[in-house]
A and B are shown apart, each in its own frame.
Chain A
Amino acid sequence: MSLARAIETGDLAELPSRRQEDWRWTDLFGLVRDLPPFSPANDAPLAPGPFAALASEQISVVNGHGQTRLVIPAGERHVVALRFVAAADAGAHVARFGVDVGDGAHLVLLESYEGEGDYLAEADLKIVLARASSLERIVITKDSGAAVSVSEAQVVLGAGATLGQTVLAAGAKRQRIETRVSHPGAGAAVRLDGLYLLAGKRHADITTVVTHGGVDGVTDQLVKGVVADQSRGVFQGRIVVAEGADKTDARMGHHALILSDRAEVDAKPELEIYADDVICAHGNTVGALDEEALFYARQRGIPDQEARAMLTKAFLDEVVDRIEHAGAREAARAWVVEHLEAAS
């Protein structure tokens, strides 16, 4: 079951529902009563995307139509912006996209989800990292508050490959950014970070599954969230260490701030370990801003709203600071500032 299958078959019964464990907090079956028509092709010129100034190459997939593949030849280095856009006339659409990063190549993939209106959209990505290649994937979402938007990425790593990922989710009516990583061990390293910053009635779901299949693999995950108003943040993180995947080093942290009585965070961090000689740790906290720190700042003269914004931004900066690409890091910082204003 998936949103993509429901859109393609027109069968609402294919929508993921709360009866599926992985979708229990992001129920689409109970939400979508009828499917809008397929989105038409749309060639109208686009306003510049959030990463326009950073990328040497830009790929736009509008209403599910456009380029379907990106290949980075062995040894090359590229910075590419990949935009999934729902135009004003969008109904329902599915985009499929393949990314191949060749041996020893390096790609900074600046991915964005943008749209206006009440569309249903799914993007399915298949990303393959060859031996000793590296990918830094930054995902920024600018979905409409009326949209249902799902992104599912399958990432397969070769030996010695490096994946660094940061998802910045601002939510939608329902939004889910899912990443499934097949981790070979073998010196490969994964950083799988995320932020959600939600206001109004927005919903964002960051779901990740990393499966360590071999010895000597590293996964480091830090996800932080801030929910205001009546918004809802969901984090589901699962790290599986298969039998024999010894010397795995896997760490997962999820920390959320709840700024309103009517906002909600649902978190399920899971470590499934079938190997013996591993280092695995996870931490999960959900709470309010530190009242002591808030009072301390106010005693120094910083007004309440400014103090709250400063502490909230500091809380989120820890994730932003881990982005390696300097331009993307600053774009992420700007995204945080923009959405903090909406949340406070």
Chain B
Amino acid sequence: MLSIKNLSVSVDGKSILDGLTLEIPTGEVHAVMGPNGAGKSTLSYALVGRPGYEAASGSVTLDGQDLLAMAPDERAAKGVFLSFQYPTEIPGVPALTFIRAALNAQHRARGEGEISAPDFLRLVRAKATALKIDFDMLKRGLNVGFSGGEKKRMEILQMAVLSPRLAILDETDSGLDIDALRIVADGVNAMRGPGRSMLIITHYQRLLDHIRPDRVHVLAAGRIAASGGPQLAHDLEREGYDRYAPRTLEPAA
């Protein structure tokens, strides 16, 4: 499904990703772990087309289509979703209004019909209940005044409603207490299935106790330094990242 080949990305003139290659087959959940500053967030931003994170070389395809040639909203319509590490506040746009606009825009881009208001509300209500999100929160400005945990749950709600082909979760466990972590993990696990792939980006192994990945990769010095099964996450937790690229340890970007 997702194929990244020799991807290099520089941010503000500094090389962050340097020939990264990664394949995620359809239906699989892969975790990318790495120390702060290894380029984890840069990878997620490059995949979704954030301005300033353009690829200098290499290729990224989703189901064989060139993702790098697409605008961010075109990538979203192809099914690429990013759960942001720091979700943005959007004052004045209620969450319900925002999510419906997003869903309908994706439907339009794919040549599908728009969803009716009653169907949309039914869908959102069901997903919100599962994530223990108070429905009244969806009538407030998106993420405005929400706690860190509420923002992360709102990301997973959007993921559940938009039902992407490829979900990228960037440090989704940060800012979550243990109960919220379980709710979010249950929400993510409910979406695992044969037609959907996931890329979980995390510094700690904690989240991977709840969302068990098929493969674990170590990102160091801008490329994949090692890959393995779920056990690799536990090894990393015990041994740290030093053996992969001791000189790349830097303060977080």
Rounded to whole Å, the gap between the CB of A168 and the closest CB of chain B is 17
Q: Which of B49, B82, B90 has the most CB of A within 10 A?
A: B90
> Does B28 sit within 8 A of A, measured CB to CB?
no
- Cα–Cα, bound, A106→B25 (Å): 69
- Cα–Cα, bound, A18→B31 (Å): 65
Question: Which residues from 264 to 300 on chain A have a C-beta closer than 8 Å to any C-beta of chain B?
Answer: 290-293, 295-300
> Does B180 sit within 8 A of A, measured CB to CB?
no
Q: For chain A, give the interface size range.
A: 20 to 34
Q: What residue of chain B has the Cβ atom nearest to residue A317's Cβ?
A: B92
| Contact with A310, one of B51, B93, B99 (Cβ below 8 angstroms) | B93
> Does B135 sit within 8 A of A, measured CB to CB?
no
> Does B202 sit within 8 A of A, measured CB to CB?
no
| Known contacts A299-B82, A310-B101: A315-B92 contact under CB 8 Å | yes
Partner-A contacts on B (CB < 8 A): 48-51, 71-73, 75-77, 81-82, 84, 87-93, 98-99, 101-103, 105-106, 109, 141, 158, 162
| Contact with A298, one of B73, B93, B98 (Cβ below 8 angstroms) | B73
Rounded to whole Å, the gap between the CB of A5 and the closest CB of chain B is 42
> Does A302 sit within 8 A of B, measured CB to CB?
yes
Give every chain A residue within 8 A of B84 (Cβ-Cβ). 296, 299
- Cα–Cα, bound, A297→B81 (Å): 11
| Known contacts A302-B73, A302-B105, A306-B105: A297-B90 contact under CB 8 Å | yes
Is the CB–CB distance between B90 and A293 below 8 Å?
yes
Give every chain B residue within 8 A of A302 (Cβ-Cβ). 73, 101-102, 105
- Cα–Cα, bound, A189→B90 (Å): 31
Give every chain A residue within 8 A of B162 (Cβ-Cβ). 300-301
> Does A311 sit within 8 A of B, measured CB to CB?
yes
Is the CB–CB distance between B105 and A311 below 8 Å?
no
Give every chain A residue within 8 A of B87 (Cβ-Cβ). 296
Question: Which residues from 292 to 336 on chain A have a C-beta closer than 8 Å to any C-beta of chain B?
Answer: 292-293, 295-304, 306-307, 310-311, 313-315, 317-318
Is the CB–CB distance between B82 and A301 below 8 Å?
no
Is the CB–CB distance between B98 and A297 below 8 Å?
yes
Give every chain B residue within 8 A of A292 (Cβ-Cβ). 88
- Cα–Cα, bound, A291→B81 (Å): 18
Is the CB–CB distance between A304 and B92 below 8 Å?
no
Give every chain A residue within 8 A of B109 (Cβ-Cβ). 301, 303
User: Can you list 15 pairs linking A and B with CB atoms under 8 Å apart?
Assistant: A295-B72, A296-B88, A298-B71, A298-B73, A299-B73, A299-B81, A299-B84, A300-B105, A301-B76, A301-B105, A303-B109, A310-B98, A310-B101, A314-B92, A318-B92
Q: What residue of chain A has the Cβ atom nearest to residue B168's Cβ?
A: A299
- Cα–Cα, bound, A315→B141 (Å): 11
Give every chain B residue within 8 A of A298 (Cβ-Cβ). 71-73, 76
- Cα–Cα, bound, A91→B76 (Å): 55
Give every chain A residue within 8 A of B51 (Cβ-Cβ). 291, 295
Rounded to whole Å, the gap between the CB of B47 and the closest CB of chain A is 10
Give every chain A residue within 8 A of B158 (Cβ-Cβ). 300
Is the CB–CB distance between A303 and B93 below 8 Å?
no
Give every chain A residue within 8 A of B71 (Cβ-Cβ). 298, 303-304
Is the CB–CB distance between B50 and A295 below 8 Å?
yes
Q: What residue of chain A has the Cβ atom nearest to residue B48's Cβ?
A: A299
Rounded to whole Å, the gap between the CB of B223 and the closest CB of chain A is 25
Is the CB–CB distance between A301 and B102 below 8 Å?
yes
Give every chain A residue within 8 A of B92 (Cβ-Cβ). 313-315, 317-318
- Cα–Cα, bound, A108→B72 (Å): 46
Give every chain B residue within 8 A of A311 (Cβ-Cβ). 90, 93
Give every chain A residue within 8 A of B98 (Cβ-Cβ). 297, 300, 310
